[in-house]
Structure 1
Amino acid sequence: MSKMKDAASFISSKLNQQKPSLGLILGSGLGVLAEEIENPIAIPYEEIPHFPKSTVAGHKGQLVVGSLEGQQVIAMQGRFHYYEGYTMEQVTFPVRVMKALGVSQLIVTNAAGGINESFQPGDLMLIQDHINMMGDNPLIGPNEEEMGPRFPDMSEAYNKKLIKHAEACADKLQLSVQKGVYVGNPGPTYETGAEIRMLRTLGGDAVGMSTVPEVIVANHAGLKVLGISCISNMAAGILDQPLSHEEVIETTEQVRQHFLSFVKEIVGTLPE
């Protein structure tokens, strides 16, 4: 709690009366959205008390606060991952800080591998639900009641009203989007073909190495969440080719305009 207050106080001191109500977590290759923010105030992670540092290519490593489509937002341009060696508490710390700053809604984005064989690289998928395969949970340990309940409900981890709103935005833009279940694995290895077959049997449509911890903490803190995956490649065993991070970044570059226009439409018409 004290670390959260320290970080939130420091960030507030850098802002010109801005009161962000919407948080954005931008995944691999998707940080370009932060460059659309007007009157931006950029704060490198290393300057913020108790913040980890992003070590992954495609993650810039700063908070950007300003206006996006008329909404006051705070965006993570690059996130933290469990596989980087951070604890679950460190991975999810920025979500706690956003809550302390007044954020009530959160849009989480990621690059993910397609498990559903009807998907194609470049598809955007609205996350309807997730499966936690990380072998850990950020809420393990003592619970601070003022941060959230001991046993939070996860039956609507991804807000149905926000999903419906995003679908309406996609229709308006004549943009075809998928819907499905995201599987969170710890990484940093990509999955084997056998693991992908297992995850498909379990009901997974896309797989990645992030998002699940942040969404658990967001629900614990009472934030409404919308999740969007960019299907950056087909998962192991579907296509006869190796997987690489370069392919992930390359695909997110190709869908940049669709992603930007989609999220900006969602933000600009966001329901209360």
Structure 2
Amino acid sequence: MRERSTEQRVMEAVRFIEEEIPYSPEVGLILGSGLGVLADAMEDVTVIHYEEIPHFPVSTVEGHAGELLVGTIGGKKTVLMKGRFHLYEGYDVASVSFPVRVMKALGVRSLLVTNAAGGINAAFEPGQLMLIRDHINFMFRNPLIGPNENALGVRFPDMSEAYSARLRTIATETAAELGLELREGVYAGLLGPSYETPAEIRMLRTIGADAVGMSTVPEVIVARHAGIEVLGISCITNMAAGMLEQHLSHAEVMDTANRVKERFLGLVAAIIPKL
């Protein structure tokens, strides 16, 4: 039996989701570790568990609930991934980014991705929010490798503006209106799941990274391939290895995300109606 194409698998997932939801979403959200609190801002919510959706992976990491929510935030029709997938869970790069294909087919035009990240820039502090200006793909994986399906995007997508300048301006202006500090920087994506060594952090700082994490990059590449505008925000949950005299733990990541959730929620909820 011939293997289904990505487009066919996407449409099977979309048909299932469309039977469960009352309208097509315009904005997509992918939430990082401990940041699922944003789901509390949604109204008229339909909840679909990942395991119910054809071809969807399942979240296995603490802080990632594994639910697809469709509802409104500030009157904007939104689809929200409460929990994402990571390469370190054993998924391949196509599976990790598959939900972005589904979002596009559902009608999403703008995607907001968030993550928990370690601070590399010495001027950063845990608890700050960083607007992602660009990324460095140190995962050395690309979800577009293999035969290109022209219906999904062009063979060689331009990544010179992976994170929309227009949406970054909206985010910066919104933060200023709320009196919130929003730093800006470059995100480095690594495979994980081990945290980086101090030597690796020194290397990343040398090549221009301001924060480091284990997600986001595959989803953003696929979003740009699909023609979706992207806005990215990192929550600096800890300083990276060697920056301070400390040991790193996922518990610290979750604790910091919980501490800043109100500021994070306020900013993102104010941005979404403008996307």
Q: TM-score, normalised by structure 1?
A: 0.98
Among residues 9, 13, 24, which one is paired with 1:7 in the alignment?
13
Aligned equivalents of 1:151, 1:252: Cα separation in 2: 36
Among residues 93, 96, 99, which one is paired with 1:94 in the alignment?
99
Secondary structure in 1 matching 2:116: strand
Secondary structure in 2 matching 1:145: coil
Alpha-carbon deviation of 1:269? 2.7
Aligned equivalents of 1:261, 1:64: Cα separation in 2: 19
Aligned equivalents of 1:164, 1:107: Cα separation in 2: 14
Among residues 192, 200, 205, which one is paired with 1:195 in the alignment?
200
Post-superposition Cα deviations, 1:207-245, rounded to whole Å, max 9, x if no partner, equal: 000000000000000000000000000000001111000
Whether 1:103 and 2:108 are equivalent positions in the alignment is yes
Aligned equivalents of 1:176, 1:34: Cα separation in 2: 23
Unaligned runs of 5+ residues in structure 1 are: none
> Across the two proteins, how many residue pairs are aligned to each other?
269
Which residue is equivalent to 2:226?
Answer: 221
Among residues 167, 172, 187, which one is paired with 2:177 in the alignment?
172
Among residues 114, 118, 122, which one is paired with 1:113 in the alignment?
118
Matches within 5 A, 1:138-157: 138-157=143-162
Alpha-carbon deviation of 1:68? 0.4
CA RMSD of aligned residues (A): 0.5
Matches within 5 A, 1:1-272: 1-16=7-22, 18-270=23-275
Aligned equivalents of 1:71, 1:146: Cα separation in 2: 27
Amino acid at match of 1:103: V
Alpha-carbon deviation of 1:105? 0.4
Aligned equivalents of 2:118, 2:38: Cα separation in 1: 21
Amino acid at match of 1:124: L
Amino acid at match of 2:164: N
Alpha-carbon deviation of 1:246? 0.3
Aligned equivalents of 1:26, 1:194: Cα separation in 2: 29
Alpha-carbon deviation of 1:135? 1.5
Aligned equivalents of 2:274, 2:194: Cα separation in 1: 38
Amino acid at match of 1:41: T
Secondary structure in 1 matching 2:151: helix
Aligned equivalents of 1:65, 1:117: Cα separation in 2: 38
Secondary structure in 2 matching 1:147: coil
Which residue is equivalent to 2:4?
Answer: none
Identity %: 61
Alpha-carbon deviation of 1:2? 0.7
Unaligned runs of 5+ residues in structure 2 are: 1-6
